[in-house]
Structure 1
Amino acid sequence: MKFIIEPSAASGMIRLPLKKEMKVPSLWEIMVSKYFSVKIYKY
């Protein structure tokens, strides 16, 4: 049972940080792109 439960728990632990890391750069990219688009729009 441990061999079945542990790998699934490990994959879950790996997947959660990956999901968070995937979401943060996308938000960061949107913020940066908006910032640059505003700067370009002004000039």
Structure 2
Amino acid sequence: MEIHIAGTRPTRRGPAEYFTGTVLQDPVIMAPAPARLNSSRVSFE
């Protein structure tokens, strides 16, 4: 499991199939396969 400090990974837009409006995601945790755990800090505009 990799844990990243906020602001050290690029911010991306949240996918429209999961969110409405403008959503920004900052990745926090990205676990390698076979794990399926991912965590992001989400901001809504």
Name the TM-score, length of structure 2 as normaliser: 0.17
Answer 1 or 2: which has greater strand percent: 2
Bigger Rg, which one = 1
Answer 1 or 2: which has greater helix percent: 1
Name the TM-score, length of structure 1 as normaliser: 0.17
- Structure with the larger RCO, 1 or 2 (CA within 8 Å, 6+ apart): 2
